[in-house]
Structure 1
Amino acid sequence: MLRDTGLVFVYQTRRLLRAPVVIVVGIMQPLLWLLLFGPLLDSLTGPGLGSSDAFDLFAPGLLVMLALYGSLYTGFELISELRAGVVERMVVTPMRPTALILGKALRDVLALGVQAGILLLIAFAMGLDADFGGLLLALGLFVIVVVMTASFSYAVALTLRDENMMSQSMGFLSLPLLLLSGVVLPLGLAPGWLRDIAQANPFYHVVEASRAAMSGDFSDSSIVVALGFSVGLTLLVMRWAVGSLRRG
């Protein structure tokens, strides 16, 4: 299993290195949010929010935004590989189907990890103040979310096998997931009914946990909830993707 996963990871990484522009393009959206929206937080005030506090709440959310948008559309590549017969040739080999999904997801972790590193360096230069241990925990959550979202994207791709249908499906999902995650500002400022709906959004819990961790508040219950939510969903969508691959 480990050998097969490693083989897929190395193969997919080599393909990625042949087109490094993918990494540059992928980071542009969260980077633009950081550079163009971040300065607007200087004058933001509210209950418990000073300007620096607002930016410290905003920056961790960008990691989740990067994980969401960076991995939610990776399934398009898999549809191309299905059409070219690449996946079919891999499936008939002794390689475990799980290794194919996991190897590709780990490639996504590497690509988005580089982007997250660049994003954090710029955020620290702009005034981000984060606890070191909390930052490591937030990055661990980031890795789990990337694997979860990428596996979900691959599962949808293997189920639909059509770029147009997948584009519409992902577009329909991405906006409410983003708005209900509280990436820009904490949903604690939102009305109660909106907070209740957000409880069903795994990205909301990850955003809250990342903010708590990077502020050094390791006793916050959101950290445990986010870990349980994201790990459980990762196992479920991974099983869905592997099952779809075997049936295909």
Structure 2
Amino acid sequence: MTAVAERAAERREQAPGDGASVPAQIGVLTAHTVQAMLSDRRLLLLTLVEPLPMLLVFGQALSGLARVPGFPRGVPYIDFLVPALMVTTALQSGLQSATRLTDDLGGGLISRFRTLPLWLGSVLVAQSAAGLVRGLIRLVTLVVLAWALFGFRSRGGPLALVLAVAVSLAVAWGLGWLFMLLACWFRRGETLQAAAGLAMFPLMFASNAFLPVASLPPWLRAVAEANPLTHGVTAVRALVLGRPALPAVAATFALALLVTAVTAPIAVRRVRRTE
């Protein structure tokens, strides 16, 4: 493990002992994970700067897509794009939580935790919660940069934008558990990154992230309509553009809860069996 991971491991090994409740264990592990993340200045700087290249590349290179058939009239491409980047940015934070879990598995941290009176599932919940903090930092940075440098505006108002952030984090929470399940299965960061990259490509590009679904070929439109990322982007985009969003928001939260309910118990059982 890296020096930062070693320091984090030492701090996390000071988790509550006998008699500590599971919420207390999760709280301590989450705090230590977030503290380790914030103490790494280079990682924090990269986290803050990461949204800028995405805004530059996608916002400039794909701006001509605003003229394709089916694109919402009167909507600048940046206002169409930012909701998609909000969801995908939050999703990247969920993937990073799974990558950190592979570091813990490969570095022996989970094995060391087995000697403590600790529910191992609290390690996964803490990683997931820390991923939400990381995602929130990235989302705030993304929105501020898009507003200050590219003219992005939330037509739904500030409250709708806050709810859009919450929806993005819900998508990241649900799919993040899926990535952590893969981390418990593969146990190697390289294998996880390869599998996640294979999954992320269709999730991002076979969706409505960069183009309206109506403008896609029929076969790709069918894939996009079944894509869970499409539902998240639809909800966030409706909120940002000031359009009716309640059904899409409710569907997205329900889908995120369903994915979490299915994958989280399996991931916990898998990490408990990991030697």
TM-score, length basis structure 2: 0.81
* Other structure's SS at 1:35 match: helix
- SS class of match (2:67): coil
> How far 1:141 moved relative to its partner?
1.2
Is 1:44 equivalent to 2:66 in the alignment?
yes
Aligned residues of 2:65 and 2:211 also touching (Cα < 8 A): no
Q: Which of residues 187, 196, 202 is equivalent to 2:228?
A: 202
Distance 1:154 1:239, change over 3 A: same
Distance in 1 separating the partners of 2:49 and 2:74? 24
Deviation sequence 1:156-184 (CA, Å, 0-9, x none): 11111223322321121111111123222
The alignment status of 1:84 with 2:107, answered yes or no, reads yes
Q: What is the distance in 2 between the residues matched to 1:71 and 1:224?
A: 21
Offset, 1:16 = 0.8
TM-superposed deviation, 1:213:
1.4
Give the number of the structure with larger relative contact order, counting CA–CA contacts within 8 Å between residues 6 or more apart: 1
Q: 1:128 aligned to 2:148?
A: no
Between the aligned partners of 1:127 and 1:118, the Cα distance in structure 2 is 14
CA deviation string 1:110-165 (max 9, x = no partner) = 11211111110111222222122221221111221222233222211111122332
Aligned CA-pair RMSD: 2.2
The 5 A counterparts of 1:20-169 are 20-26=41-47, 28-39=49-60, 41=63, 44-46=66-68, 47-50=70-73, 52-125=75-148, 126-130=150-154, 131=156, 132-169=158-195
Question: Once the 2 structures are TM-superposed, how far is the Cα of residue 84 of structure 1 from its aligned partner?
Answer: 2.5
Q: 1:124 to 1:237 in 2, by over 3 A?
A: same
When structure 1 is superposed on structure 2, of 92-101 and 151-160 the one drifting more is 92-101
Deviations 1:77-135 (A, max 9, x none): 22222232211222443322332111111111111211111110111222222122221
- TM-score, length-normalised on structure 1? 0.89
Provide the secondary structure at the position in 1 that maps to 2:226.
coil
Task: State the alpha-carbon separation in 2 of the partners of residues 33 and 85 from structure 1.
Answer: 35
Match of 1:7 in 2: 28
More deviation in 127-136 or 37-46?
A: 37-46
Contact 2:209 2:233 survives alignment (8 Å): yes
Q: CA deviation at 1:185?
A: 2.4
After TM superposition, give the deviation of residue 228 of structure 1 in Å.
1.5
The unaligned stretches of length 5 or more in structure 1 are none
Over 3 Å counting, the alpha-carbon distance change for 1:39 and 1:76 in structure 2 is closer
Counterpart of 2:91, as a letter, is L
* 1:161–1:124 distance in 2 versus 1, CA, 3 Å: same
What SS does the corresponding residue of 1:216 show, helix, strand or coil? coil
Whether the 8 Å CA contact 1:64–1:142 is kept in 2: the answer is yes
Take 2:109 and 2:52, find their aligned partners in 1: how far apart are those partners?
34
> Aligned pairs, how many?
248
TM-superposed deviation, 1:192 = 2.6
Distance in 1 (alpha carbons) for counterparts of 2:184 and 2:196 = 14
Amino acid at match of 1:45: R
8 A Cα contact 1:144 1:234, kept in partner: no
> Structure 1 vs Structure 2: percent identity of aligned residues?
22
1:27: how far off?
Answer: 5.2
